Amino acid sequence: MFDVANQPPPLEPYNLFASDTVLRAAVKREGAGWAERELDTLGAALGRSDTIAAGFAANRNLPVLKSFDRFGHRLDEIEFHPAWHEMLVIACEAGLHSSPWAKPQTGAHVARAAGTYMLGQIEAGVYCPLAMTYGAVPTLRHAPTVAAQWLLKIFARSYDPRFVPIGEKTGALIGMGLTENQGGSDLRTNTTRAEPAGDGFRLTGHKWFLSAPTCDAFLVLAQSPKGLSCFFMPRWTPEGTRNALRINRLKDKLGNKSNASSEVEFDGAYAELVGEEGRGIPIMIEMAGYTRLDCCVGSSSLMRQAVAQAVHHARHRTAFQKKLVDQPLMTNVLADLALECEAATVLSLWLARAYDEGDEAAVAIRRVVTPAGKFWICKRAPFVTFEAMEVLGGSGYIEESIMPRLYREAPVNSIWEGSGNVMCLDVLRAIGRTLNFADVLTRELDAGEARLKAFAQRLTERLSAPERNDEAQARALTRDLVLALQAALLIKHAPTAVAEAFCASRLAGEGAAVFGTLPRGCDTRAIVERAAPVA
Ligand X SMILES: Cc1cc2nc3c(=O)[nH]c(=O)nc-3n(C[C@H](O)[C@H](O)[C@H](O)COP(=O)(O)OP(=O)(O)OC[C@H]3O[C@@H](n4cnc5c(N)ncnc54)[C@H](O)[C@@H]3O)c2cc1C
Residues of the shown chain interacting with ligand X in the complex, contacts defined by CB under 6 A: 175-179, 183-185, 209-211, 253, 256, 261, 412, 415-422, 425
Q: How far is the CB of 419 from ligand X (least distance, A)?
A: 3
Q: Which is nearer to ligand X, 128 or 531 (CB)?
A: 128
Q: Which is nearer to ligand X, 34 or 209 (CB)?
A: 209
Strand 174-177 with 217-224, pairing: parallel
What's the CA gap between 506 and 339, in Å, rounded? Answer: 10
Q: Which is nearer to ligand X, 217 or 349 (CB)?
A: 217
Phi, psi of 230 (to 5 degrees): -100, 135
User: Which amino acid belongs to residue 433?
Assistant: R
Q: Which residue(s) pair with 310 in the sheet?
A: none
Hey, which bits of 339-456 come out as E strands? none
Q: Write down the number of H helices and E strands in the chain.
A: 19, 11
Q: How far is the CB of 25 from ligand X (least distance, A)?
A: 32
Residue 401 parent element (H or E)? none
Q: How far is the CB of 136 from ligand X (least distance, A)?
A: 12
Of all residues in the shown chain, the one whose CB is closest to ligand X is 184
| Closest alpha carbon to 175 in 275, 272, 260 | 260
Q: How far is the CB of 294 from ligand X (least distance, A)?
A: 13
Cα angle, residue 379 at apex, residues 189 and 19 outer, rounded to 5°: 130
Q: Which is nearer to ligand X, 120 or 420 (CB)?
A: 420
Burial (CB < 10 A; 0-12, 13-18, 19+), residue 467, is exposed
Q: How far is the CB of 250 from ligand X (least distance, A)?
A: 11
Q: Which is nearer to ligand X, 43 or 177 (CB)?
A: 177
Q: Which is nearer to ligand X, 61 or 419 (CB)?
A: 419
Q: How far is the CB of 512 from ligand X (least distance, A)?
A: 23
Query: How far is residue 341 CA from its own chain's centroid?
Result: 14
What's the CA gap between 26 and 33, in Å, rounded? Answer: 9
User: Which amino acid belongs to residue 373?
Assistant: G
The residue count of the chain comes to 535
Contact 282, 232 (CB under 8 A): no
Phi, psi of 331 (to 5 degrees): -60, -40
Q: How far is the CB of 235 from ligand X (least distance, A)?
A: 15
Percent helix, percent strand, percent coil in the chain, to nearest 5: 55, 15, 30
Q: Which is nearer to ligand X, 69 or 471 (CB)?
A: 471
Q: How far is the CB of 8 from ligand X (least distance, A)?
A: 32
Q: How far is the CB of 198 from ligand X (least distance, A)?
A: 27
Q: Which is nearer to ligand X, 140 or 176 (CB)?
A: 176
Q: Which is nearer to ligand X, 184 or 396 (CB)?
A: 184
Contact 385, 306 (CB under 8 A): yes
Q: How far is the CB of 458 from ligand X (least distance, A)?
A: 25
Would you give the end-to-end CA distance of the chain in angstroms? 36
What's the CA gap between 412 and 254, in Å, rounded? Answer: 9
Q: Which is nearer to ligand X, 261 or 300 (CB)?
A: 261
